[in-house]
Amino acid sequence: QRPVTLSTLAKMKAEGEKIACLTAYDAAFARVEEAAGVDLVLVGDSLGMVIQGHATTVPVTMDHMEYHTRCVAAGLHIPLLVADMPFVSYADPQRAVDNAARLMRAGAGMVKLEGAAGQAEVIAALAGQGIPVCAHLGLRPQSVHKAGGFRVQGRDEAAADAMRQDARDLVAAGADLLLLECVPRDLAQRITAEAEVPVIGIGAGAGVDGQILVVHDMLGIPPGRKPRFVENFMAEADSVDAAISAYVQAVKDGRYPCDEHGFD
């Protein structure tokens, strides 16, 4: 099997094949995800919450991201490896290029940053150095303190229009992929239809080109309260491998996400 590249993802969007994505933070999960047919593996800065036990992603540093990117890269050959740029690591274009270079050298094939209107210059600088970029729109966890909490984004018309404009601007600046977190399903579908690049969703309904979840969430770790968009694939599986394979199949078949996982 050939490694997944940007052209693979573009072809999947064009042909309507759903892109199955998951986070991973170490080589063990990377190997299981690869074997299950995951197309894109994200070393998310969610590791600040999942691995380090913090309440937000704000404490995560470049050293942490670089270390976990190396761990995941060691276990991965086929899926596209995307690594998150952590809090303030892309505050200006030069800093963004230097930090993205660290993640690319650690084995990433693309970096992701939480983009809004102001991020076009940073994305253009990365694109200019041949670094593929995913722009993360909607709920942006690194801005949680400014936003005053984690909540669905783009619910009123002005906010929805602004997000559509951001998506256009960031793609025009050179973003190769968009990720929408906690966005009403109709808005996510509209942005997906308008975008030339693939759009991955989390809590963004079924009308996007692919889905992503935090791997611990979809395995039911820890038990208890979970975001509405999460399905526990471990509930009906007898192994972690089987649960991750079931997730990939459910994304490919359009059985995940269902209506109940999305927002209006």
Nearer to ligand KIV, 44 or 115 (CB): 44
> Residue 231 catalytic?
no
Should residue 84 be labelled a site residue for Na ion when binding is judged by CB under 5 A?
A: yes
193 CB neighbour count, 10 Å cutoff: 10
Tell me the closest approach of the beta carbon of residue 84 to Na ion, in angstroms: 4
Residue 157 CA to residue 117 CA, distance in Å, equals: 17
Residue 13 CA to residue 79 CA, distance in Å, equals: 16
Q: How many residues bind ligand KIV (CB under 6 A)?
A: 12
- Contact, 78 vs 38, CB < 8 A? no
Nearer to Na ion, 44 or 132 (CB): 44
SS3 101: helix
The site partner of 231 among Na ion, ligand KIV, none (C-beta below 5 to 8 Å per kind) is: none
> Is 169 annotated in some ligand binding site?
no
Nearer to ligand KIV, 23 or 153 (CB): 23
Report which secondary-structure segment, H or E, holds 22. strand 19-23
> Is 39 annotated in some ligand binding site?
no
Backbone angles phi and psi of 248, in degrees to 5: -60, -45
Instruction: Indicate which single residue of 33, 34, 39, 45 sits in contact with ligand KIV (rule: CB under 6 A).
Output: 45
Stretch that binds Na ion, among 81-89, 160-168, 196-204, 248-256 (CB under 5 A): 81-89
Nearer to ligand KIV, 136 or 185 (CB): 136
Binding mask 46-85 for ligand KIV (x = CB under 6 A): x-------------------------------------x-
SS3 220: coil
Look up tokens 């002005």; give the residue: 158
Start-to-end C-alpha separation, the chain: 39
Stretch that binds ligand KIV, among 40-48, 151-159, 219-227, 250-258 (CB under 6 A): 40-48
Residue 42 CA to residue 124 CA, distance in Å, equals: 22
> Residues 111 to 130: which contact ligand KIV by CB under 6 A?
none
Binding mask 174-213 for ligand KIV (x = CB under 6 A): -----x-x--------------------x---------x-
CB within 8 A of 14, min separation 6: which ones?
A: none
Look up tokens 């094939």; give the residue: 109
* Both tokens assigned to 113: 């940053």
Of 181, 194, 196, 236, the active-site residue reads: 181
Query: Would you list which residues are annotated within the binding site for Mg(2+)?
Result: 45, 84, 114
